[in-house]
Amino acid sequence: MRPSSKLIIAVLVPILVATAIAPLVFPAGSICESCHAPGKPEGNYVFAQPQLTFTSPSVVQPNSSVNVSLSVSHAGKYTVKSFTADLSLEGPGDLESGETSAKDIRNIGSEGGSAVIAWKVHAGSEGMLLVNASINYTAHFKHTNTQGNDEYPYQFLRALTVMVRPIALRISLSELSFSTGAGTSKTFELAALSEVKNITLKVSPNIAGAANVATTALGKLGAGERHTVTVNFLGGSEAINNGRIDLVWENATGVKDSGFVAVRVVQPPQQEAKSPVPLLGRATGLVSLGLLITSILLGLVKMGKARRARLHCAVSWFILGLSVYHGLILLLGPYSSLTLGTYVILGYASAAVMGVASVNGLLDKWMSRKLGYRTWLWLHRISTILAIVLIIVHAIMIGTDFKFLRGLAGGEGGGGNGRGD
């Protein structure tokens, strides 16, 4: 048989065999409960739900409009998909004409981000208006396990109450939102519907060190007068969902009333430092596979037998060492929880078989005397082909650079590699 024919058989046959047996031996996995489900962080992944802030003014005038908003933000590591919120009302109020109860947002990617959904509600006669939101979304995870579906559905409920009654002072905003950058300021407006006096403003204790108001005490406002309140963000605070600017005032007859403006301090998405370890692990795996093919070529070449054999052996032992390094750098680093994963074990097995083939090559003269040259040669070839089959299945089912082959192998649902999104 010609060397070119031997090369085709040695390289293509293991690829075809590995592609054919992969879906039979390693079927697609189910939902990865160990690392994606709430309350189960065993897979080295702790789910942090997005921040969901549901706000509206605490008190509104009868027969007036009120804005209700739902703010969504998350710091990344997964994608928020198919986010839908459905609003329902109990009490004196209806959606404004033309408004729809169910609304959705764009997907928020794995680097994190935020979005807002808003509704306009018409408050009717006096009473208590209960506003409910049913929230559904799908989290698309970055895998930390070698098997499983990487999408998981979540559902939340949010509710708030709005008092519908006559008030003397109207507050223009229900919520202020700051990023964590210090030195920013935002404003809202107070409008007197009738005479008000002794207006005081106070920052809630949980953000007292992070924000202040330029004026904490006002005299009085006559009917129709307005006043702009400036809120300064000082920084030095973690993300806060329930900060407030509390307002208290008296009407013309001395009856006290109150309201508040919600304050949110939102941290920008935290970008994790990119570790060189996964890239180095991928590179060593690919180089090992490339050198294994090179080693096969060297084994088939007939010219310069002695020098070619020495180079063939040197490359084979280098591949074995590089493969061991490839496994150690990943399993002692970012994928320490995957030491017994199905496709990871294939990597161990391929390294073991490569070790057998290398030792077999090193002892060629001794084994040829004991077993015969042809027996030794076929043992060497079979162990090499088996190592290639194991490596290719390992690469197809878990390798970042072989995702495009997972569809052919039937392992798209269970071939996550820890970094794919």
Helix (H) or strand (E) holding 4: helix 3-25
Per-residue model confidence as pLDDT tens digits over 332-359? 665 655 555 667 777 778 888 888 887 8
What is the model's pLDDT at position 376?
Answer: 79
Q: Where are the domains of the chain?
A: 3-30+276-333+339-409, 41-266
Element counts in the chain: helices (H) and strands (E):
8, 18
Per-residue model confidence as pLDDT tens digits over 276-327? 666 777 777 778 777 777 777 766 666 556 666 777 777 777 877 777 777 7
| Bridge partners for 117 per DSSP | 70
Which pLDDT band, with edges at 50, 70 and 90, does 6 fall under? very low
Cα 19 from Cα 410, distance rounded (Å): 9
What is the model's pLDDT at position 333?
Answer: 63
Determine the angle formed by the axes of helices 305-331 and 276-300, rounding to 10 degrees. Answer: 160
Q: Is the model's pLDDT at 61 over the cut of 70?
A: yes
What is the model's pLDDT at position 88?
Answer: 94
Task: Tell me the percentage of the chain whose pLDDT exceeds 90.
Answer: 12
Which pLDDT band, with edges at 50, 70 and 90, does 34 fall under? very low
Task: Tell me the percentage of the chain whose pLDDT exceeds 70.
Answer: 69
Per-residue model confidence as pLDDT tens digits over 109-154? 888 888 889 999 999 999 999 999 999 998 887 654 444 456 778 8
Helices (H), 244-372: 276-300, 305-331, 342-362, 364-371
Determine the Cα angle at 315 with ends 314 and 316, to 5°. Answer: 90
Q: 167 and 59 in contact (C-beta within 8 Å)? A: yes
Q: Is the model's pLDDT at 13 over the cut of 70?
A: no
Domain 41-266 top-level CATH class: mainly beta
Torsion angle of C-alpha atoms 194, 195, 198, 199, degrees rounded to 10:
40
Buried b (16+ CB within 10 A) or exposed e, 145-177: bbbbbbbbeeeeebeeebbbeebbbbbebbbbb
Q: 367 and 376 in contact (C-beta within 8 Å)? A: yes
Sheet holding 175-179, edge to edge: 175-179, 256-266, 240-251, 196-203, 217-221
Give the pLDDT mean for 172-189: 76
The dihedral built from the CA positions of residue 118, 122, 128 and 131, taken in this order, carries a sign that is: negative
Residue 248: alpha-carbon gap to chain centroid: 43
Taking all residues of the chain, what is their mean pLDDT, rounded to a whole number?
74
Q: What is the DSSP string of 5-16?
A: HHHHHHHHHHHH
What is the model's pLDDT at position 415?
Answer: 36
